[in-house]
Structure 1
Amino acid sequence: MSDDEDDLQMDFSLDQSGSEGLDMMGFGPLLPTESERSLMERVRQELKIELKQGFRSKIEDVREEILRKRRAGKLPGDTTSVLKDWWQQHSKWPYPTEDDKAKLVEETGLQLKQINNWFINQRKRNWHSNSQSVTSLKSKRKR
């Protein structure tokens, strides 16, 4: 064999031994030591923590979206009963102050926007129609 053929043969044998899981000396697969395994585990844990922190806001956004979609439409009964109680107590002027809204947010666990929307919808459905019917009754009585 020529020198070039020897070099090719040597390269080939090294490639083959590596693919069989042997080290360069042909002694078998290289296994990490206990300290290397410990280091690799620490690095893996640190990367996991960094990834969680880096994607925390995205994860929270996805969670909120899932919760929003799950409860789209109707609010839980215990939540609406708290809002309806407030509504009953303030039926003449059902416009909660900012302090009232903050208390309702705390009591119900809803977001401020949900509280605002509930009162807007409640007034549209019940209060305006009731005040119009009262107004129309008064006007009929005057005739």
Structure 2
Amino acid sequence: MDDPNRMMAHSGGLMGPQGYGLPGGEGAPATGDGEARKQDIGEILQQIMNITDQSLDEAQARKHTLNCHRMKPALFSVLCEIKEKTVLSLRNTQEEEPPDPQLMRLDNMLIAEGVAGPEKGGGAGAAASASAAAGEWDNAIEHSDYRAKLAQIRQIYHQELDKYENACNEFTTHVMNLLREQSRTRPITPKEIERMVQIIHKKFSSIQMQLKQSTCEAVMILRSRFLDARRKRRNFSKQASEILNEYFYSHLSNPYPSEEAKEELARKCGITVSQVSNWFGNKRIRYKKNIGKAQEEANLYAAKKAADLSWAGAGRREARSPAGLAAYNSNVAL
């Protein structure tokens, strides 16, 4: 390869005093003096430092001067030789990376919950799955509230996802245009541009993963909150309510069951002692707030208890009668 100084001397400088490259007018002799070389390098560095202060018109003018210079092919050839010696080869790079398993799990979960993918009753489907986990929901308000909040999460997710995708596309387009423009001066292959695009997409993919992870967490919090609320509000069975109400109104003068009574009631109703305590606490509050209606309910339970006692007394009297004793003896004989 020709000596750069000799090549510059014959060409009269790469771009002359007003262009890029070594300073000096046309026909300036090459000098071997060290001080002159340092001065030339200093002026070149100063020109490079001044690039950031140039206006757009000045930059375009200098770019046009460089592209039209007769020594540009020689400069491009030198840059190609330097790149062949120093640049890392892309031949051994992996062509296609496997998909991230964590990202796949997040995508599958968002699709299953009706947040990602086409909206085909996603909110209703998620609400139905939540209902199946906690039993059949009998309150339509809970369904609509769950669907509304899930639709809000879906809307926010798609809005943020669109922002990331638009930003990624804009930045990718800008980088591709910049590299194509620079490829007129320095060697940049289409494969290298494609590789840079992959790097950009990978960077933005990590941001999207954070968005998807936070969205999945929001859906899980929503589901757990509604399911927990449903479990807390789940009514007892009719038999359990009868047992608890009967005890409450039969002990209306002191509706505070002992620990032993709570344990017995919990065993009969098939619930926990804590649930029994909560029920009596809520019942006392409701009773005080609506004493009139509660008194009617108390009278009903008192009449029911009296009827049960009268039936029990009649049964005992019948058992003590001769006919009752005969029936009892015949049953024993059988």
Whether the TM-score (by the shorter chain) exceeds 0.5 is no
What TM-score comes out, normalization by structure 2 length? 0.18
Which structure has more relative contact order (CA 8 Å, sep 6+)? It is: 2
TM-score for both structures, normalised by structure 1? 0.40
